[in-house]
């Protein structure tokens, strides 16, 4: 029997759930089946495809390159089947759904302003906006839960199955309270060691960017007292202490403009990076998505001109 005839929807659903959560036990609970059944189904699928889809490290699973490729195509196929079912059940839906993932640097200005323009252009569209760590949003897009993701470009290794369009370049800044002594320092890179740091958490897109910069000024082993890219937490801690925070400018731009936070531009090319739109490489034409992307481009041009 050929692999096309042997492949079943249960293989696809099981694989996509494990790929999404990267855990057999969690996937089993979500699918309401046993862990051995999940493991057996994954083994059958890998045998049918003739390749491993996950790297197994102890009890943990990590989606590998082949797995990411299969994830993008399998998710697209399952999504199309779901849409076909919906159309047969409801004919033409009253609303047009569009689900997007937003990383922190795009969540405070770029996406909200583009979303307002999008809502005026497409009043029948329903925009579902999700936030979360970059790895989760990329996995959700590969398995068809998201139509696009907006944010800062990560390391190239996690972009398998995705395409990226740069909208503008943005730097990581060092944020302080408005009267912080570091603002008047002549040698900021030297005096930086005098103050406790807030760093991006491991897994955040800008973590490696900040680590490269710190290494370049001789602070390779610098540790953060706190780790976050969350604006409410970081803003309050910085305003209430001598701590300084490495964060993408887009996250804190409104606070900088209002004067409630101050940003130190460290003048290093190591801290600059592209912000843009991520799409599945095999994305089908989608008028709502295309309209939103066009509004993202327009807002991005305004942000670039202001910078």
Average pLDDT over the chain reads: 87
Q: Binning pLDDT at 50, 70 and 90, where does residue 90 land?
A: low
Instruction: Give the residue-averaged pLDDT of 20-46.
Output: 87
Instruction: Using only the alpha carbons of the chain, give its radius of gyration.
Output: 22
Task: Give pLDDT tens digits for 105-157.
Answer: 999 999 999 999 999 988 889 999 999 888 888 888 887 889 999 999 887 66
Q: Report H helices in 144-206.
A: 188-191
> Please, is 57 exposed, middle or buried when counting C-beta atoms within 10 Å of its C-beta (0-12, 13-18, 19+)?
exposed
Q: How confident is the model at residue 180 (pLDDT cuts 50, 70, 90)?
A: very high
Q: Tell me: the pLDDT tens digits for 250-265?
A: 999 999 999 999 998 8
Assigned token pair, 203: 């897994």
Task: Give the CATH number of domain 169-272.
Answer: 3.40.190.290
Burial of 91 (0-12, 13-18, 19+ CB in 10 A): exposed
Q: Can you spell out the DSSP letters for 234-288? A: HHHHHHTSS-EEEEEHHHHHHHHHHTSSEEE----GGGEEEEEEEEETTPPP-HH
**Residue bearing the bigger pLDDT, 56 or 82:** 56
Task: Give the model confidence (pLDDT) of 218-237 as tens digits.
Answer: 898 889 999 999 999 999 99
92-168+274-306 is classed CATH 3.40.190.10: yes
pTM above 0.85, yes or no: no
pLDDT tier, 18 (very low <50, low <70, confident <90, very high otherwise): confident
The answer on pLDDT for 76 being more than 80 is no
**Same CATH fold, 169-272 and 3-70?**
no
| 61-65, 185-189, 300-304: segment of lowest average pLDDT | 185-189
- CB-based contact 158:135 (threshold 8 Å): yes
Residues 6+ apart with CB under 8 A from 297: 167
Alpha-carbon span 147 to 97, nearest angstrom: 10
Residue 26: its pLDDT value, please? 87
Predicted pLDDT of residue 48: 86
Q: Locate the domains of the chain by residue range.
A: 3-70, 92-168+274-306, 169-272
In degrees and rounded to multiples of 5, residue 96 shows phi and psi of: -105, 110
Q: Which residues contact 4 (CB under 8 A, 6 or more apart)?
A: none
Instruction: Give me 242's structure tokens.
Output: 């001598």
- Look at domain 3-70 and name its CATH class: mainly alpha
């Amino acid at each position: 029997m050929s692999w096309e005839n042997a492949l079943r929807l249960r293989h696809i659903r099981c694989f996509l759930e494990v790929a999404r959560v990267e855990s057999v036990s969690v996937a089993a609970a979500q699918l309401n089946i046993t862990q051995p059944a999940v493991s057996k189904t994954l083994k059958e699928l890998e045998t049918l495809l003739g390749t491993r889809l996950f790297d197994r490290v102890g009890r943990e699973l990590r989606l590998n390159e082949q797995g990411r490729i299969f994830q993008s195509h399998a998710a697209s196929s399952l999504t199309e089947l779901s849409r076909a079912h919906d159309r047969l059940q409801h004919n033409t839906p009253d609303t047009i759904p569009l689900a997007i993932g937003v990383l922190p640097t795009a969540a405070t200005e770029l996406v909200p302003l583009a979303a307002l323009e999008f809502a005026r252009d497409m009043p029948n569209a329903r925009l579902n906006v999700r936030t979360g760590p970059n790895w989760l949003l990329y996995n959700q897009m590969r398995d068809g839960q998201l139509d696009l993701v907006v944010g800062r470009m990560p390391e190239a290794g996690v972009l398998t199955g995705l395409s990226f369009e740069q909208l503008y370049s943005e730097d990581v800044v060092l944020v302080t309270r408005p009267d912080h002594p570091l603002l008047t320092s002549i040698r900021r890179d030297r005096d930086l060691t005098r103050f406790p740091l807030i760093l991006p958490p491991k897994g955040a897109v800008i973590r490696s960017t900040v680590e490269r910069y710190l290494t370049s000024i001789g602070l390779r082993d610098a540790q953060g007292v706190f780790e976050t890219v969350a604006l409410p937490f970081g803003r309050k801690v910085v305003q209430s202490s001598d701590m300084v925070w490495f964060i993408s400018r887009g996250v804190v731009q409104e606070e900088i403009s209002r004067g409630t936070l101050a940003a130190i531009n460290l003048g290093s090319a190591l801290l600059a990076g592209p912000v843009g739109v991520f799409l599945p490489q095999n994305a089908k034409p989608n008028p709502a998505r295309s309209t939103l992307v066009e509004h993202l481009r327009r807002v991005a041009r305004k942000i670039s001109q202001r910078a």
